[in-house]
Amino acid sequence: MCSDMEEHAFNVVCEQEFGMEACTYGDMAIQRWYSKVLSAAIQRWCTKVISANCSTGFPRTLGQAEALDKICELDLVISLNIPFETLKDRLSARWIHPASGRVYNMEFNPPRVHQGIDDITSEPLIQREDDKPEAVAVRLRKYKDAAKPVMELYK
């Protein structure tokens, strides 16, 4: 693994370069840098540590998949076919404690003491805007469209 100093230096360079690219490319910079930063991190990880790798939820776009293929040889790709409504229901049940980042799922990991209240601080939980049912449905549709070419690549 990288030392704390090495990791900090890597993060500072990425933040500076991302800022300059964001001015040029706008919203596209986020997607470009997501791939760049993850590729760099995965490459360091692959070369220093990993003999067997399991990554969940990545790659999400064809560009990310193509970048990953350039730096790592995949032995296995698993795709889970989960019904849309099941995903929507599970993701929409997520609530968080904003100060700590603790995550609760009202179906699978609800607060133990009171509904909607953090177990440790007794402060109210919130549901992020992107975890509300309507937003989750939009996110899942976008993901399905973006994932289709990735699925085709790995068939």
Least confident of 7-16, 35-44, 67-76, 135-144: 7-16
What pLDDT, on a 0 to 100 scale, did the predictor assign at position 77?
80
Q: Where are the beta strands (DSSP E) in the chain?
A: 94-96, 103-105
Which pLDDT band holds residue 6 (cuts at 50, 70, 90)? very low
CA separation (Å) from 103 to 44, 56, 65, 109, 113? 30, 18, 29, 8, 15
Among 14-18, 24-28, 58-62, 142-146, name the most confident range: 142-146
**Upper half-sphere CA count for residue 131 (Cβ side, 13 Å):** 15
Whether 139 has a pLDDT exceeding 60, the answer reads yes
Mean pLDDT of the chain: 77
Rounded to 5 degrees, what are φ and ψ at 4?
A: -60, -40
Cα 96 to chain centroid distance, Å, stands at 16
Residues forming a β-bridge with 95? 104
pLDDT at 22 over 60: no
Task: Using alpha carbons, list the distances in angstroms from residue 43 to 25, 50, 66, 105, 124.
Answer: 25, 10, 14, 33, 41
Residue found by looking up tokens 């919130």 in the block: 126
In the predicted model, is pLDDT for residue 124 greater than 80?
A: yes
Kindly state the tokens that stand for 139: 């996110």
Q: Is the pLDDT of residue 112 over 60?
A: yes
Looking at per-residue pLDDT, the higher value among 13 and 101 belongs to: 101
Q: According to the model, what pLDDT value does residue 47 have? A: 55
Please give the residue that has the higher pLDDT: either 144 or 43. 144
Checking if the pLDDT of 34 tops 90, the result is: no
Position 134 scores a pLDDT of: 93
The first and second tokens of residue 97, run together, are: 């404690």
The position carrying tokens 């469209």 is: 145
Higher pLDDT, 39 or 138: 138
